[in-house]
Amino acid sequence: MSTETKRQLAVALHYDRNGAPRVLAKGKGTIGARIIAVAKEHGVPIEENEVLAGALSNVELGDEIPAELYKAVAEVLVFVLRLTKRR
């Protein structure tokens, strides 16, 4: 396992416009790398933000993100919406 893979942290969010986004998957190392690979395979946009990923990694799977992360996650959602409109 490369040093890069060992440090890899990924958090997948799901947002259905009902309530706050939820943590769908999270992991680091091999699991984090696999989350990213699956996202790429399915054309899911990826935003690299180490600080936000670290904060979101403390949220339990299936839970809504905490209110203090709304602004940061909203910025990611805007990025994703703009990116998908360009496609």
Q: How far apart are CA 56 and CA 25, in angstroms?
A: 10
pLDDT in tens, the chain (87 residues): 555 656 789 999 999 888 999 999 999 999 999 999 999 999 998 999 999 999 999 999 999 999 999 999 999 889 888 887 766
Name residue, tokens 């990694």.
Answer: 57
Per-residue pLDDT, 84: 78
> Whose structure tokens read 């339990």?
60
pLDDT at residue number 50: 93
> What is the structure's pLDDT at 6?
64
Q: 79: which 2 tokens?
A: 């990025």
pTM summary value: 0.84
Domain containing residue 15: 3-86
The CATH number of the domain holding residue 13 is 3.40.1690.10
Q: Could you give the number of structural domains in the chain? A: 1
